């Protein structure tokens, strides 16, 4: 018998604001009771060891993929209100493509500096909304596909959650994407990250009419959450 809608709303909200273990459980499904108890015991043991060594338990690293689009800004706004906690750290990841061919005399450092300036207002926005949360900007230049670069950088950064903005897709595109994803063929940056990221990847799209957001993860497609 299927779970009621309210169950999944609470489950998803908890996973967004919880630790990496709860995020993982949402993507992988619920495990056995003994497995949960073992995980809880392991987490408590690690916390106790950290306290003995005088170390404070740190939060997650929340990576938000940003650029100058409205989809990126909407995803960041959602992350700040629904995902990020005071003990977390925010990394604003901006991926740029290495220019191909002639027509530019900019060095890589100059390109990264310009890209950093473009998304710096988003860092100011984070500091305004979450003044107690450390926020940094990371600019990555790649000649490969952006999706692959995002997944590799999130792994390198030790991300607990990866948040991306998503555009509205037509029904025809969704069918094509589903077929390509099953065949192992890339279906776009967001889809690639959702299916290949080691941490929980969340695609966020703001609804235009009724408010709220549509959330997509490995296990949930366009799940509607009110802001």
What CA–CA distances, in Å, run from 221 to 31, 47, 69, 99, 218?
A: 21, 34, 22, 34, 8
- At residue 43, the pLDDT reads 45
Q: Are 225 and 12 contacting, i.e. CB atoms less than 8 angstroms apart?
A: yes
- At residue 13, the pLDDT reads 55
Q: Report d(CA 91, CA 136) in Å as an integer.
A: 5
Q: Report d(CA 109, CA 107) in Å as an integer.
A: 5
- At residue 16, the pLDDT reads 64
Q: Are 160 and 60 contacting, i.e. CB atoms less than 8 angstroms apart?
A: yes
- At residue 180, the pLDDT reads 52
Q: Report d(CA 197, CA 199) in Å as an integer.
A: 5
Q: Are 17 and 85 contacting, i.e. CB atoms less than 8 angstroms apart?
A: yes
- At residue 226, the pLDDT reads 60
Is the dihedral angle over the CA atoms 85, 86, 89, 93 positive or is it negative?
positive
- At residue 178, the pLDDT reads 57
Instruction: Give me the helices (H) in 130-188, please.
Output: 146-157, 171-182
Cα 179 from chain centre = 24
- At residue 33, the pLDDT reads 42
The pTM is what? 0.72
Local confidence pLDDT in tens for the 227 residues of the chain: 555 444 444 555 556 666 444 444 444 443 444 444 444 454 445 444 444 443 334 689 999 999 999 999 999 999 999 999 999 999 999 999 998 875 667 888 999 999 999 999 999 999 999 999 999 999 999 999 999 999 999 999 999 999 999 887 655 555 555 555 444 444 589 999 999 999 999 999 988 766 788 888 888 776 666 65
Residues 6+ apart with CB under 8 A from 51: 57
Q: Report d(CA 19, CA 83) in Å as an integer.
A: 10
Q: In a 3-state reduction of DSSP, which class is residue 16?
A: helix
Q: Report d(CA 89, CA 59) in Å as an integer.
A: 7
């Amino acid at each position: 018998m299927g779970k009621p809608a309210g169950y999944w709303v609470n489950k998803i909200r908890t996973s967004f604001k919880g630790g990496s273990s709860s995020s993982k459980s949402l993507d992988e499904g619920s495990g056995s009771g003994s497995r949960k108890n073992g995980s809880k015991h392991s987490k408590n043991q690690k916390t106790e060891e950290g306290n003995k060594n005088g170390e404070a338990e740190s939060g997650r690293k929340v990576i938000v993929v940003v650029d100058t689009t409205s989809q990126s800004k909407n995803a960041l706004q959602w992350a700040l209100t629904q995902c990020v906690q005071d003990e977390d750290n925010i990394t604003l990841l901006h991926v740029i493509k290495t220019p191909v061919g002639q027509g530019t005399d900019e060095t890589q450092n100059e390109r990264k500096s310009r890209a950093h300036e473009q998304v710096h207002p988003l860092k100011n926005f984070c500091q305004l909304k979450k003044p107690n949360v450390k926020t940094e900007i990371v600019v990555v230049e790649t000649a490969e596909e952006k999706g692959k670069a995002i997944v590799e950088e999130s792994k390198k950064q030790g991300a607990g959650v990866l948040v991306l903005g998503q555009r509205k897709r037509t029904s025809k595109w969704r069918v094509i994407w589903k077929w390509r994803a099953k065949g192992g063929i890339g279906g776009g940056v967001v889809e690639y990250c959702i299916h290949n990221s080691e941490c929980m990847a969340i695609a966020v799209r703001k609804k235009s009419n009724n408010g709220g957001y549509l959330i997509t993860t490995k296990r949930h497609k366009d799940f509607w959450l009110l802001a």
